[in-house]
């Protein structure tokens, strides 16, 4: 059976036909076409996944997917921010073509998406959890999603019938919704696509009650660049507002009570959004508040008694940040385990493709930062693991350059559906084979949300397996070039330096080719978008 299915895959790849699968499907059972569970977390850095070699935490359940499937070690996004990544995943197209270039854009839900195409070939489709595309989900037979960012505790959900209030912790609830969809909402007569999308571990990193304090007694290792001074680069890194030292709120992010800060005359560290800490705290019920106070109360007391300063304060904030970030991930990993156990119990493991990814990477202190957005490695890369026992050999690690534009074509091909010619990604199926296929040699990237929160300048660029060329534009005109082999932390901008003339010229050429290939060449269009974006910021009173 195993071998037969695999030869089916080879047939599928060589002849671009799904007749083998289809006849299989007709003659045996309707589940021959794989079910698909697409797990996406929000801001999960590969640095915090055991299977990626994390020294920060253990993730036994996500690791299980890697042990039983394939881990992609060179997986990237095309625009490192939430709504754009989700629109790319749905459409298989870069932001400039799918219309969601930043978190303020509204997804045009009349577009062709892979869930709609799966529906057309007989899949039942569902999405639960984070959505963040503003317009109503389309292409889903069942959906229950968070409005905007949603809440960690007692979240409300959007449904076709209106807003529904839930009680409890978001990661548990999202998993309950996923399991109840599998258990009692779908029909067993046709294969399904379930998009199981977590809010965690998004800022402000509220762990579940079970995990409060889980990392309190651990000194979390810090990255070599925690105290980056931003020399030898252009202005973009220096001017970004996502430094743990300056832009992370002691109250909102690190959970020191605003009253404590006021009492200590540390108001300058509260920032404009400190009231949000109290708003979130109010969502806890009495028992939860008591538990919360027991853990965070002692942190507050300790902070008052031993208030760190200068670099010690940054280090303290990094520890606090990571304790909560990793804490909120514990629940993600545990709940994924719960879902995998359910698949085992229901004998769904062998006919369900599970894909694990995040909407982008995240800075866990690298360059002194939290957040994402830059084309630098920690936010450009994203975790990607795929498990489907009949086709994917267990424990494989792939090092080809893959990108989130590839998700839609991959899932369509796996389901035996046709991949529209205007999708820009490539199916990853050939990478499951032992013989190495022709693959891309370079990736394209374009980020737009500036001016905006965290002030990361607009930029686009190209990355090959060794080099990266980035152009920051709009209020600057600066190029950066990195040799990732010699300088994996991207601290030395080589642009214009002697000895790199040929490499630089080649990268420029490759970038121009990619811009043509992906149809992102119109300066007039780009200028128009900038003007529209600024008008929108003015209308919102943010500019
Ligand atoms: C919120 C966060 C930002 C974050 C954006 C986008 N601030 O605005 O830190 O960059 O979301 O995140 S917060 O005060 O609300 O936590 S994204 O994942 O949705 O792109
Ligand atoms: Ca995100």
- For the residues of 194-240, what is the DSSP string, one character each? EEEE--TT-TT----GGGTTTTTT------TTTT---TTS-HHHHH-
What pLDDT digit, counting tens, does each position of 292-341 carry?
A: 999 999 999 999 999 999 999 999 999 999 999 999 999 999 999 999 99
Confidence of residue 166 (pLDDT cuts 50, 70, 90): very high
pLDDT of 537 over the 90 cut: yes
Q: Residue 451's pLDDT is what?
A: 97
State the distance from the centre of ligand 1 to the C-alpha of 305, rounded, in angstroms: 31
How large is the angle between the packed helices 19-27 and 2-15, nearest 10 degrees? 140
Q: Work out the average pLDDT over 396-422.
A: 98
State the distance from the centre of ligand 2 to the C-alpha of 391, rounded, in angstroms: 30
Q: Residue 262's pLDDT is what?
A: 86
**Which neighbouring-strand residues pair with 480?**
470
Determine the atom of ligand 1 nearest the C-alpha atom of 149: 19
Determine the atom of ligand 1 nearest the C-alpha atom of 85: 20
Smallest CA separation from ligand 1 atom 17, residue: 82
- The tokens for 226 are 């925690």
Confidence of residue 96 (pLDDT cuts 50, 70, 90): very high
Confidence of residue 538 (pLDDT cuts 50, 70, 90): very high
Lowest average pLDDT, out of 20-34, 291-305, 394-408, goes to 20-34
Smallest CA separation from ligand 1 atom 20, residue: 82
Determine the atom of ligand 1 nearest the C-alpha atom of 276: 14
Confidence of residue 5 (pLDDT cuts 50, 70, 90): very low
Q: Are 391 and 413 in contact (CB under 8 A)?
A: no
- The tokens for 233 are 């680069």
Distance in angstroms (rounded) separating the CA atoms of residues 499 and 145? 52
Q: Which long-range contacts (CB under 8 A, 24 or more apart) does 243-249 make?
A: 243/368, 243/369, 244/314, 244/317, 244/318, 244/321, 244/365, 244/368, 244/369, 244/370, 245/313, 245/314, 245/317, 245/368, 247/271, 247/454, 248/317, 248/321, 248/370, 249/273, 249/274, 249/277
Pocket test for ligand 1, best of 79, 87, 103 (most atoms within 8 A of CB): 103
Q: Residue 273's pLDDT is what?
A: 59
What pLDDT digit, counting tens, does each position of 185-222 carry?
A: 999 999 999 999 999 999 999 999 999 999 999 999 99
Residues of the chain with CATH 3.30.1120.10: 444-540
Q: Residue 534's pLDDT is what?
A: 96
Q: Work out the average pLDDT over 273-291.
A: 90
Distance in angstroms (rounded) separating the CA atoms of residues 37 and 247? 36
- Tokens 């991949």, residue? 419
Q: 136: which DSSP letter?
A: P
Determine the atom of ligand 1 nearest the C-alpha atom of 359: 18
Q: Work out the average pLDDT over 396-400.
A: 97
Confidence of residue 527 (pLDDT cuts 50, 70, 90): very high
Considering the segment(s) 444-540 as one domain, its CATH architecture is 2-Layer Sandwich (3.30)
Q: Residue 272's pLDDT is what?
A: 58
Pocket of ligand 1 (CB under 6 A): 42-43, 81-82, 103, 132, 202-204, 273, 371, 453-454
Q: Are 373 and 85 in contact (CB under 8 A)?
A: no
Q: Work out the average pLDDT over 48-65.
A: 98
Q: Residue 87's pLDDT is what?
A: 98
Work out the angle at residue 298's Cα, subtended by the Cα atoms of residues 293 and 301, and round it to the nearest 5 degrees.
115
**Which neighbouring-strand residues pair with 470?**
461, 480
Q: How many CB atoms sit inside 10 A of residue 454's CB?
A: 18
Lowest average pLDDT, out of 142-156, 245-259, 454-468, goes to 245-259
Q: Which residues contact 515 (CB under 8 A, 6 or more apart)?
A: 444, 460, 521
């Amino acid at each position: 059976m195993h071998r037969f299915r695999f030869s089916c895959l080879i047939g599928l790849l060589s002849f671009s036909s799904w007749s083998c699968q289809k006849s299989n499907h007709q003659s045996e059972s309707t589940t021959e076409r794989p079910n698909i569970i697409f797990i996406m977390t929000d801001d999960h850095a590969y640095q915090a996944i055991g299977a990626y070699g994390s020294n920060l935490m253990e993730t036994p359940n996500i690791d299980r997917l890697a042990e039983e499937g394939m881990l992609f070690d060179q997986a990237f996004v095309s625009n490192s921010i939430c709504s754009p990544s989700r629109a790319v995943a749905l459409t298989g197209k870069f932001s400039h073509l799918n219309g969601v270039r930043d978190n303020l854009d509204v997804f045009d839900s009349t577009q062709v998406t892979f869930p709609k195409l799966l529906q057309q070939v007989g899949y039942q489709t569902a999405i639960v959890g984070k959505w963040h595309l503003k317009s109503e989900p389309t292409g889903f037979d069942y959906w229950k999603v968070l409005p905007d960012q949603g809440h960690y505790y007692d979240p409300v959900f959007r449904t076709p019938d209106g807003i529904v209030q839930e009680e409890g912790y978001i990661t548990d609830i999202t998993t309950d919704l996923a399991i109840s969809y599998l258990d009692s909402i779908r029909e067993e007569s046709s294969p399904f696509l379930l998009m199981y999308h977590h809010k965690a571990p998004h800022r402000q990193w509220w762990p579940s009650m079970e995990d409060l304090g889980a990392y309190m007694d651990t000194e979390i290792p810090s990255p070599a660049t925690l105290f980056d001074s931003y020399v030898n680069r252009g202005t973009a890194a220096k001017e970004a507002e996502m430094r743990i030292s300056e832009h992370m709120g002691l109250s909102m992010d690190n959970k020191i009570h605003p009253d404590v800060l006021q009492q200590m005359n540390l108001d300058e560290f509260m920032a404009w959004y400190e009231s949000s800490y109290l708003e979130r705290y109010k969502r806890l019920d009495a028992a939860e508040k008591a538990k919360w106070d027991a853990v965070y109360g002692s942190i507050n007391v300790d902070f008052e008694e031993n208030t760190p300063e200068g670099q010690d304060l940054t280090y303290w904030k990094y520890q606090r940040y990571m304790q909560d970030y990793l804490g909120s991930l514990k629940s993600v990993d545990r709940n994924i385990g719960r879902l995998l156990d359910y698949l085992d119990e229901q004998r769904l493991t062998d006919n369900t493709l599970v894909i694990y990814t995040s909407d982008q990477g995240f800075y866990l202190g690298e360059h002194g930062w939290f957040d994402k957005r830059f084309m630098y490695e920690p936010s450009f890369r994203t975790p990607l693991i795929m498990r489907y026992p009949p086709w994917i050999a267990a424990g494989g690690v792939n090092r080809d350059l893959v990108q989130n534009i590839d998700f839609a074509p991959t899932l369509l091909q796996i389901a035996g559906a046709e991949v529209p010619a205007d999708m820009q990604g490539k199916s990853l199926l050939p990478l499951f084979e032992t013989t190495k296929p022709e693959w891309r040699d370079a990736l394209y990237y374009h980020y737009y949300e500036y001016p905006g929160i965290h002030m990361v300048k607009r930029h686009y660029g190209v990355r090959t397996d060794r080099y990266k060329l980035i152009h920051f534009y709009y209020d600057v005109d600066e190029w950066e070039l990195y040799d990732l082999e010699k300088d994996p932390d991207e601290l030395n901008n080589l642009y214009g330096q002697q000895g790199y003339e040929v490499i630089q010229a080649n990268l420029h050429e490759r970038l121009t080719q990619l811009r043509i290939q992906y149809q992102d060449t119109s300066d007039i269009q780009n200028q128009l978008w900038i003007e529209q974006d600024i008008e929108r910021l003015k209308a919102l009173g943010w500019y």
